[in-house]
Amino acid sequence: MRKVKDISCEEAIRHLLEYLDSECEVHTHEEIDQHLSACQACYSRMEFEKRLRSQLRNSGEQAVPDSLKNRIDKLFSGGLKN
Amino acid sequence: MSSKPRPPETRDDLRTFCETEIGAILDRLYGTALRLTRNQADAEDLVADTVVKALGNISRLQDRSCFHGWVFRILYNTFKSNCRRKSARPEDCISSLTGDATEADDTFWLFDKLHQPFLLWWGNYEQEFLDQLEIEDLCKAVDALPDNYRIVITLSDIEGFSYQEIADTLEIPVGTVRSRLARGRSMLQKSLWDYAQTVGLAPGHAKPQGDDLCVK
């Protein structure tokens, strides 16, 4: 089994946001996983970024105005036109 | 692994499919349209135009599982063409939407500004900040970003698209998506830091006594 390389805090932080995006190389993801399990400071940072990301995601849910809902309903009741 | 389902064949099926899928993501489509246009009336027009185009072209969508990305691509392309049409100088508009990201300066980390290890026993500025961060303030910070960065932040951090999906939607290289995200996130965190200082949620700006850390 391949040994996962130990990385520094700097290296973990450099890839942290891509790690949260699940856009790292597999080996980088494993290295950050291992680092986070041993480093409380980086783990706290990761939790902060994760929570901030989650709040950003929640901000995307906008109440749709009735005027737009009605327009969309009308479009669908009109059917397909080609 | 089972093969992907074929798209529905009849017009009624297509309409029903489209209506169901649009209904499930209408709030997110509208939210993204608001982030792009920064204006409620324009956002409503953009979503309605997008739905018209989706309905008209749904029969061309071979893989139904791609509907979400496909309809957001229509939304973005419609926004881009509206922007070109409305701009007095279309070349400026196109440039602001497609120009390359500048290299990120040193990344700004909000966490580094808020985190105070010596306060851990009785207070925690970073958690306090997130607890009190209102969605409206977050939206304002995103809206204040320049177009290039606002769009990738919206598609990635708010809508959860992969780098490749964003690259396909915006028709830019994945490397550009990465650099715009890095720069955009740094700008967003800087803007949130300014906000934290304004509302007294930053170390040195909030009251230093333990019981007073929770700023209302």
The pTM of the full predicted model, rounded to 2 decimals, is: 0.82
The pLDDT assigned to B5 comes to 57
Residue B124 has, within 13 A of its CA and on its CB side, a CA count of 10
Q: Are B203 and B116 in contact (CB under 8 A)?
A: yes
The pLDDT assigned to B125 comes to 80
Of chain A, the percentage scoring pLDDT greater than 90 comes to: 79
Q: Angle at which helices B163-170 and B67-86 pack, to 10 degrees?
A: 40
The pLDDT assigned to B116 comes to 73
In the structure, what pLDDT confidence band is assigned to residue A26 with cuts at 50, 70 and 90?
Answer: very high
ipTM of model over 0.90:
no
Ranges of residues in chain B with a pLDDT under 70 are: 1-9, 87-105, 117-123, 204-216
A26 and chain B in contact, CB less than 8 A: no
**Cα-based torsion angle of the residue sequence B11, B15, B18, B24 in order, rounded to the nearest 10 degrees:** -150
Beta-carbon separation of B58 and A80 below 8 A: yes
Residue numbers of B between 73 and 102 with CB closer than 8 Å to A: none
Of chain A, the percentage scoring pLDDT greater than 70 comes to: 93
Q: Where are the domains of chain A?
A: 9-77
Residue-range domains of chain B with CATH: 11-96 (1.10.1740.10), 110-212 (1.10.10.10)
Give the SS3 label for residue B209. coil
Report the largest interatomic distance among the alpha carbons of chain B, rounded to a whole angstrom: 68
Of B30, B52, B58, nearest to A62 by CB-CB distance is B30
The pLDDT assigned to A4 comes to 84
The pLDDT assigned to B94 comes to 47
The pLDDT assigned to B211 comes to 39
A56 and chain B in contact, CB less than 8 A: yes
